[in-house]
Amino acid sequence: MMEKCKPSFGQWRNKRLFLTDEEKLILIKDYLAGKESKASVYFRYTGYPEDHGKIAVWMKKLGIKKIEDVRDVSFVPMSKAKKPIQSEVDFEKLQLEKRVAELEKQLKLAEMKAIAFSTMVDIAEREFNIPIRKKFNTKP
């Protein structure tokens, strides 16, 4: 078992180690070099024996899938990077289609409720022989 050691970089805040994107990239490059496992690289840089999937999350955040991607990485997280306009249009279209389907479902349900209510009033008028519906053409 690996013993806890002093981390080689990062800042401690509220008993947690925080790494900058540059430090994360250094750690990822070292892992992708292929000489060590994620746990051993993470331990060497942070002092913790397990990474609990953090390296994979960082790779996804920085847009890295393989070693060739490391050279093209800028330090702008993907969430802050500008997305292509086409994907935004597709996403909005998908949201609108979903909303239309939801509204159509609600409309169908409302129509079924109206039919059920009307049928219930018809049956009640016939069974009890009393007028329930209001007549709109009467004068006060």
Query: What tens digit of pLDDT does each residue of 23-42 get?
Result: 778 777 877 777 777 788 77
The DSSP letter of residue 84 is: P
Q: How far apart (Å, rounded) are the C-alpha atoms in residues 3 and 7?
A: 12
* 114: CB partners within 8 A, 6+ apart: none
Q: What's the predicted TM-score (pTM) here?
A: 0.42
| pLDDT tens column, 85-127 | 667 778 888 889 999 999 999 999 999 999 999 999 999 999 9
Return the domain boundaries, the chain: 11-70, 83-140
Q: Are 60 and 53 in contact (CB under 8 A)?
A: no
Give alpha helix (H) positions in the chain: 21-32, 38-46, 54-62, 67-70, 85-128
